């Protein structure tokens, strides 16, 4: 499970939990919602209180009133994709399956009311979007009325980051570690290296000092950072306009699903 920071088309892991996949006995006893909220609280402890935060999650994680309540308790906003069966209770009491209000690409739907009729009725705003070239629509729920819903596109950045860390570059699937504890420690090294590469690549592209090859599988920012790390740019280290702080934390940090 990973909680990360959306950054320039990628996602930088900030907190994680590692456990054995497909093993009910190894699954965290606290459950998925409490696990995610614990990771979010770890992140919250390291950022300014007044910093606005928006949490994105896919429907496998986002169709959860308990997670929504937990994020609101942190003082943050959420934008979650939910299952197509989800309903909203409108002001006149009508229950609407909002996914069904959009029937073809190019259409959209927006409404405000209460969601999760049988699990607590959370005040929320729903958005259903179907992009012209998309294969399916998004059914979204948020507690921020200013969002259009298209902001959810950033959720895919974590998928791109996972590709970078796996087959597109870092080949993490080839690591021969079977202990979740050892993997959690190794993940720290990987995240620091990946973050440094992203920041270097972003700085090089910002200064227009690098052009990525057309056949590169990773994003230009990643390619630029990787080439610099490998010594392929012939340039000195650029000034990085960011501050990245790493603080010691509890040894239970571990990694496997995703939230961005």
Count the neighbouring beta carbons within 10 Å of the beta carbon of residue 169: 17
- The predicted pLDDT at position 21 comes to 78
DSSP H helical segments within the chain, as ranges?
31-44, 59-62, 65-73, 157-165, 180-206, 220-229
- The predicted pLDDT at position 220 comes to 52
The span from the first CA to the last CA of the chain, in angstroms, equals: 10
- The predicted pLDDT at position 200 comes to 78
Reported as a single tens digit per residue, the pLDDT across 80-98 is 999 999 999 999 999 999 9
Higher pLDDT residue, 258 or 57? 57
CB 210 within 8 Å of CB 204: yes
Q: What are phi and psi of 204, to 5 degrees?
A: -65, -45
- Using pLDDT thresholds of 50, 70 and 90, give the confidence band for residue 208: low
Q: What percent of the chain has pLDDT over 90?
A: 48
pTM of this structure: 0.79
- The predicted pLDDT at position 248 comes to 31
């Amino acid at each position: 499970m990973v909680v990360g920071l959306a950054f320039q088309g990628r996602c930088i892991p900030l907190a994680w939990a590692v456990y054995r996949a497909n093993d009910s006995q190894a699954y965290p006893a606290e459950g998925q919602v409490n696990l995610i909220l614990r990771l979010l609280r770890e992140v919250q402890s390291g950022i300014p209180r007044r910093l606005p935060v928006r949490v994105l999650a896919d429907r496998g994680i986002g169709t959860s009133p308990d997670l929504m309540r937990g994020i609101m308790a942190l003082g943050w906003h959420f934008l979650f994709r939910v299952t197509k069966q989800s309903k909203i209770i409108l002001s006149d009491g009508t229950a609407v399956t909002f996914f069904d209000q959009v029937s073809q690409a190019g259409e959209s739907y927006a409404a405000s009311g209460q969601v999760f009729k049988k699990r607590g009725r959370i005040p929320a705003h729903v958005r259903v979007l179907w992009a012209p070239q998309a294969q399916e629509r998004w059914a979204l729920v948020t507690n921020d009325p200013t969002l259009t819903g298209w902001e959810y596109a950033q959720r895919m950045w974590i998928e791109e980051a996972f590709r970078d860390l796996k087959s597109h570059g870092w080949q993490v699937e080839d690591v021969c570690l079977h202990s979740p504890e050892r993997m959690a420690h190794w993940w720290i090294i990987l995240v620091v290296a990946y973050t440094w590469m992203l920041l270097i690549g972003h700085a090089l592209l910002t200064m227009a000092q690098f052009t990525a090859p057309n056949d590169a599988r990773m994003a230009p920012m990643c390619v630029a950072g990787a080439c610099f790390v490998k010594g392929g740019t012939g340039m000195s280290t650029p000034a990085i306009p960011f501050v990245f702080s790493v603080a010691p934390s509890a040894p239970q940090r571990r990694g496997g699903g995703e939230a961005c």
